[in-house]
Amino acid sequence: MKKLGILLILVSFIAQGQIKRVEPPFWWVGMNNTHLELVVYGKNINRFNVKIKSSGVVLTKVQKTENPNYLFVDLDLSKAKAGTFKLLFSHPKLKNFKYKYTLKARQKNAASRKSFDNSDVIYLLMPDRFANGNPNNDSSSAATEKANRTDKGGRHGGDIQGVINHLDYIKELGATTIWSTPLLEDNLPTYSYHGYAITDTYKIDPRYGTNQDYKNLATEAHKKGLKLVMDYVTNHWGSLHWMIKDLPTKNWVHQFPKFQRSNYRMTTQFDAYASKIDAHLCMDGWFDTTMPDLNQSNPLVLKYLIQNAIWWIEYAGLDGLRVDTYSYNDKKGIAAWTKAITDEYPNFNIAGEVMMHQQSQIAYWQKDSKLAAIQNYNSHLPAVMDFTLHDAVAQVFNEDKATWDKGMIKVYKNFANDYLYPNPYNTFVFIENHDTNRFNQIYKSDFNKYKLAMALIATVRGIPQIYYGSEIGMMGDKNQGDGDIRRDFPGGWTNDKQNAFTAAGRNDAQQKWFAFTKKLLNWRQKNTAVQTGKFSHYIPQNNVYVYFRHDTSKTVMVVLNNNAKAQILSLQRFSENLKGFTKGTDVLSGESFDFTNTSIKVKGKTPLIIELY
């Protein structure tokens, strides 16, 4: 009998320690979608029956899978109130136990939150390489990879506190929105700093800080009038994610007899003639050896990803999402994911990475695309990234002499194809990002070419996105590896020789780049015409591209002279947009122009942004 008693006590302890995780860790009442699916994880947890002790929460279903360590508990919260309730776990031969779960009240107007839009300028940063605000977390005991600044592909120590410490710098520059590459735990042995191989979807990587630190980042940003966008990954996780190590179902990820990399041919997603095997390998192949491909056609996976994204939006108070490798996902699954989030937050903007190089192929993925509608498909994705403009910008400023298909005609044609987009104004326009060669590397730190490129993305339709360090002329060669285009921002570490976050710490070249960028972006914040106004442009002549942005209160004339020599522009050609205006001032140089004259002169390799009056 004594042995039996000891055994019963042990069983009791085992049962009460049964649950290792419940995700989401908590939730909110008053959501548009009132159905919540809890993932309950623990050794042989599916032996237990589940009941709910609550007057408002209704248990609708308990799903078991082939893995006995999981239960998927479906709840109806339509009548639930904020507070706690108990899940009761029972077994005829084991000790019953309870689990307390918390439902929180939503913040006021959480569902109608304002997202990023055309009035914003997005500042993209890689937190590991931006600034180290807390050296004590550089090599967390819970993290496999430790900090090593000498390793281009290693952890350097940048963190959330480093971003918080430099919010004033970002605001001074004239950016309004921060897009940080992923901050969630990426606990792989090597090359984990980029964050795209997530190992815990509800936890900030300890080398960046804590969940509370991330929430504080959003709060402090909002205090300064800045927005925060999360880089979200739906296509894959890291191979050491806790769920990957103990799959809930075999088809939680796409499985192959041996490792199968994606063929990366995204055209197979809409190619009417694509073979099934090619489409399968694009959509279902792994992005990399350490990045298992998630199966969004599995309803349990899809629900998990939807809830996880909503949890972070609600918890941290996010202002938008950027979705990595959007066009590699299961088409129907990612459309359902996107729609679920925008149904919950009707004013919420989500930008998807569709790294393709034809406008029609990018436009296919934007919400309400007529091209996709031919195939009875709608991604529901509000915003896409204008990679074709980036492709042009990476070439045209070295093409001094215009030909039929070289020079500024490439930029003109990019916008001439805007009829393909359902909403060309909701696109990211950029000269570089964390996956591309640095602009200043391509153009050998030519300041005039930088001015032309920045003037372009600050004044055309779309949402300008700049990459940290562009504003001080940072370089980086992708041929030397991704680590080289993701260099540390000078001054982000206490032992750095200079601090480019301050005017006193910047050298003459850095200050020149910064001053120009600051002037341009801060001016843009105050000009509604270049934010949301109509766009009218003229076919480039002699490598000079002229366009106008105009609304009911303002008109701006932009002249981009990509010719190495000065050019005389006849104003008669632009009379339809100049009608009624007699003067103008270039916001960059302060130069005044008299439009009662017949022409104006523009210096070689020079932009003009002229406010008309």
Average pLDDT over residues 165-178: 98
Find out whether 382 and 510 touch, Cβ atoms under 8 Å: no
Domain 531-612 is of which CATH architecture? Sandwich (2.60)
What is the pLDDT, as a whole number, of residue 355? 98
Q: How confident is the model at residue 286 (pLDDT cuts 50, 70, 90)?
A: very high
Find out whether 112 and 32 touch, Cβ atoms under 8 Å: no
Instruction: Give tens-digit pLDDT for 515-552.
Output: 999 999 999 999 999 999 999 999 999 999 999 999 99
User: Residue 559's beta-bridge partner residues?
Assistant: 546, 608
- Domain spanning 2-104 has what CATH number? 2.60.40.10
Q: Which of 36, 37, 39 is nearest to 21 (CA)?
A: 39
2-104 and 531-612, same CATH topology: yes
Distances (CA, A) of 261 to 191, 254, 279, 285: 18, 11, 13, 5
Find out whether 56 and 30 touch, Cβ atoms under 8 Å: no
Residue 11 scores a pLDDT above 60:
no
Q: How confident is the model at residue 18 (pLDDT cuts 50, 70, 90)?
A: confident
Residue 609 scores a pLDDT above 90:
yes
Instruction: Give tens-digit pLDDT for 403-434.
Output: 999 999 999 999 999 999 999 999 999 999 99
Pairing status of strand 58-64 against strand 83-91: unpaired
d(CA 70, CA 68) in angstroms, rounded, equals 6
Neighbours of 108 (CB within 10 A): 7
The helix, strand and coil proportions of the chain, stated in percent and rounded to the nearest 5, come to 30, 25, 45
Instruction: Give tens-digit pLDDT for 199-214.
Output: 999 999 999 999 999 9
Instruction: Give tens-digit pLDDT for 564-597.
Output: 999 999 999 999 999 999 999 999 999 999 999 9
User: Residue 568's beta-bridge partner residues?
Assistant: 601
Find out whether 224 and 181 touch, Cβ atoms under 8 Å: no
Instruction: Give tens-digit pLDDT for 25-59.
Output: 999 999 999 999 999 999 999 999 999 988 899 99
d(CA 344, CA 348) in angstroms, rounded, equals 9
What is the pLDDT, as a whole number, of residue 352? 98
Residue 5 scores a pLDDT above 70:
no
User: Residue 592's beta-bridge partner residues?
Assistant: 585
Portion of the chain with pLDDT greater than 70, in percent:
97
d(CA 405, CA 411) in angstroms, rounded, equals 10
The angle that helices 211-223 and 299-316 make with each other, rounded to 10 degrees, is 50
Question: Residues 324, 330, 386, 488: which is the catalytic one?
Answer: 324
What is the pLDDT, as a whole number, of residue 17? 55
What is the pLDDT, as a whole number, of residue 16? 45
Max distance between CA atoms of the chain, in angstroms, equals 108
Put simply, whether the predicted model's pTM sits higher than 0.85 gets the answer yes
Average pLDDT over the chain, rounded to an integer: 96
The label of the residue with tokens 């979200």 reads: 232
Average pLDDT over residues 170-193: 98
Neighbours of 417 (CB within 10 A): 16
User: Residue 53's beta-bridge partner residues?
Assistant: 86
Query: CB within 8 A of 1, min separation 6: which ones?
Result: none
Amino acid at 151: D
Helical ranges in 320-478 per DSSP H:
331-344, 359-363, 370-373, 387-396, 409-416, 439-442, 447-459
Q: Write out the DSSP string of 31-63.
A: -SS-EEEEEEEETTGGGSEEEEE-SS-EEEEEE
Q: Per mean pLDDT, which range of 16-25, 279-288, 498-507 is the poorest? A: 16-25
Amino acid at 120: D
Q: Would residue 324 show up in a list of annotated catalytic residues for this protein?
A: yes
Tokens of 162: 């480093």
Question: Residues 185, 319, 353, 386: which is the catalytic one?
Answer: 353
Higher pLDDT, 465 or 12: 465
d(CA 376, CA 207) in angstroms, rounded, equals 44
Find out whether 314 and 29 touch, Cβ atoms under 8 Å: no
Tokens of 315: 């918890």
Find out whether 594 and 439 touch, Cβ atoms under 8 Å: no
What is the pLDDT, as a whole number, of residue 175? 98
Average pLDDT over residues 425-453: 98
Q: Which of 444, 332, 399 is nearest to 540 (CA)?
A: 399
Instruction: Give tens-digit pLDDT for 71-97.
Output: 999 999 999 999 999 999 999 999 999
Tokens of 173: 């520059």
Tokens of 613: 């009056």
Find out whether 453 and 394 touch, Cβ atoms under 8 Å: no
Domain segments of the chain as ranges? 2-104, 531-612
Instruction: Give tens-digit pLDDT for 255-278.
Output: 999 999 999 999 999 999 999 999
Distances (CA, A) of 291 to 148, 194, 195: 23, 13, 11
∠ at Cα 379 (378, 384), nearest 5°? 125
Q: Would residue 172 show up in a list of annotated catalytic residues for this protein?
A: no
Pairing status of strand 227-233 against strand 177-180: parallel
Task: Output b/e per residue, 328-354; b: 16+ Cβ within 10 A.
Answer: bbbbebbbbbbbbbbebbeebbbbbbb
